Amino acid sequence: MFKKSNAFLLTFALICGIGFAKSNVYASVIKTNGAHTKSNLLNFNVNDVLAQSTGVTNALAKVPGYSNPLITQKFGADPFAMVYNGRVYVYMSSDAFEYDNRGNIINNDYSNIKTISVISSDDMVNWTDNGEIPVAGPNGAAKWATNSWAPSVTHKVINGRDKFFLYFANNAGSIGVLTADSPVGPWIDPLGKPMITGSTPGVNGVAWLFDPAVLVDDDGTGYLYFGGGIPGGNNPSQGQIANPKTARVMKLNGDMIHTTGSAATIDSPFMFEDSGIHKYNGKYYYSYCSNFSGNHPNGTPPQGDIAYMTSNSPMGPFTYKGTFLKNPGTYFGVGGNNHHAVFQFNNQWYVVYHAQTLGKAMGITKGYRSPMINKVSYSPNGLMNNVIEDMQGVAQVANLNPYKRTEAETIGWNGGISTQKCTAPGSMVSSNNLDVTSINNGDWLAVSKADFGSGAASFKANVASTVGGKIEIHLDSADGQLIGTLNVSPTGGEQQWKEMQCNVKSVSGVHNIFFKFTGNSSKNLFNFDYWQFSANGTNPTNPTTDPTTNPTPGSTVTLNNGWYYIKNVNAQKYLQVASNTGKARQNVELGSGSGAAGQKWYLTNTEDGYVTLKSALGNYMLDVSYGENKDGSNIQIFNAYSGDSQKFSVKASSKNGQYSVATKSSNGSKVLDDYNFGTADGTNVCQWTYGGNNNQMWVFEPTNN
């Protein structure tokens, strides 16, 4: 990895929606020893080129309060969004600086992209860096592939379990598929060869065999859209430019890794690349990037815009309707190719696309792209309205919970840091974890809108260091109120991990949190894995006494379908939705019996032997946050969809009428738990490994209505 060099003063104009703001920043230049080799072209850190701001609240490209671009610690192109279990996952081609033999940054030619970058968020502003998927080449899952461009990802229940499918372009010559058991991997190549090639039925005539987009329809059938380019070589006719007929759609087999039948042609006017697909109000919307060639008369898509067509069938025929997303050059002053994906999250439609916004802020507009998001809307007749692309982006849809483990690489805004693979176990998948690194004096990162509730009293972080430093915790800006300082002492190595803790001044309500890093060494001060606050001076771990044996929940019992109040035996208080408010991700806690709707739960026995618990506040079910399988995972309500995170087993105990409630997301090893044996109103409810104690026992009282 290249290191930061001496800095020079540079003034950037940061484009921020309407108008602009200027701020003086220090920008580093890269000095290299000798020529770059193919093996290190991807070994790139954005912050080796950008430098720290003279005022740490001045961020590059993505400024505090705004949400675009989604990330600035690295680039990401050709974004595709998948929603799973209350979280948006964005998969991207891993753009990274390329250099000539003198160390100068050159135009991006995409030839070295062999990994897929993944980020995810449940609030649309704070994005977790989930790392890179090794796809192509000898170190990748698909060793036959040369490149991995333009991913498209979906999930489907296969043999009773959620399975994930990642489709990618091997340059412009074929399309491959990887599979996994989680959105972040690990990924394998189930075929050991391309899924779609030039010999696939119906593919003949496609100039560029790339840019897949996948749709799983309501009946579970999968379809793959792909293709692009203009026939006619270097001298295409106007007819070939206007109607390339190089887009295809193909039905997938039930296993999602084989095709069925022959590909159908989509006659998309002025087709260039970037197939997209979504379904809205029963109609299928095929979208694509228009080409840059020939004459585009009125009524056809302008050059480099995202156009769309609609159909009553996923296989077409599709009818051209217009455009809805301009080329990024229209709004950001720097153009290039266009790539997008339309998706729905929490009942709102969005489009994720790329633009050279980070590159522009760095003064390097050579084709290195960053992911952006804006809202999508529709007219009453189903036509798509033009999207307003801007740096302000979208509003945060949920507050961050600071009392849960939060990955340090969950970032709203930052300055000077980067991320890397980490040896400590991950929170989603133990084998997949990153940490924040390249931490020098004055660097910082921040998260948006953390809800401290009634008060926090302590803070802990998992860190690793050879030299040590400090984490200053500020509210609302990097120079805002200092509520605590964690002294990070050396741990014996940069992957030798240790939890450290400090007290904080009492803080309540919703705040942005800025972590400012300080230290005397010029080396990397420390690596930062995760952090967590706790309330009332308690440690953020449940003090349930560990049993000398390993008890297991009793046998499953069957209760009648119907409405219940659910009372915790230890607290003698009822399971309730916080603030009696029905909305996705609303917390679940304990409260004194009131008969309110937030304390009523409709129990339904499912065909696979579990139960769901639907709130009387609306179409929301009791839910394990993120479907996690770990102690302390929060319990909430979320939009009802009867997935694994919303299924439970009622288990018998030694006392008649008292039950534990095991979570399917933990395979029955963890149960609903009265956190810290709390007895006060508002005590949190989480899942915890079964111990047989009263704080894990519940009484189901029929509401009789």
User: Which residue among 48, 78, 95, 494 is the active-site one?
Assistant: 78
Contact criterion met (CB below 8 Å) for 164 and 154: yes
Contact criterion met (CB below 8 Å) for 624 and 673: no
| Strands in 541-667 per DSSP E | 562-568, 574-577, 588-591, 601-605, 611-615, 620-624, 635-639, 648-652, 659-663
Angle at 323 between CA 317 and CA 324, to 5 degrees: 120
Contact criterion met (CB below 8 Å) for 528 and 463: yes
Active site residue 407: no
Residues 6+ apart with CB under 8 A from 127: 70, 71, 90, 119, 120, 121, 410, 411, 412
d(CA 470, CA 444): 11
d(CA 644, CA 667): 9
Q: Which residues pair with 702 in a beta bridge?
A: 564
Terminal CA-to-CA distance of the chain, rounded, Å?
Answer: 65
Q: Position 456: which residue type?
A: A
Q: Position 632: which residue type?
A: G
Tokens of 450: 């953390």
d(CA 631, CA 673): 10
d(CA 688, CA 673): 6
By DSSP bridging, strand 481-488 and strand 418-421 are unpaired
Cis upstream peptide for 183 (omega within 30°):
no
Active site residue 494: no
User: Which residue among 98, 129, 273, 274 is the active-site one?
Assistant: 273
Q: Is 333 left (phi over 0), alpha (psi -120 to 50) or beta?
A: left
Q: Is 137 left (phi over 0), alpha (psi -120 to 50) or beta?
A: left
| DSSP code at position 496 | E
Three state DSSP letters for 327-370: CCHHHHCCCCCCCEEEEEECCEEEEEEEECHHHHHHCCCCCCCE
* Among candidate residues 693, 684, 688, the one with its CA nearest the CA of residue 653: 693
- Which residues are catalytically annotated? 78, 273
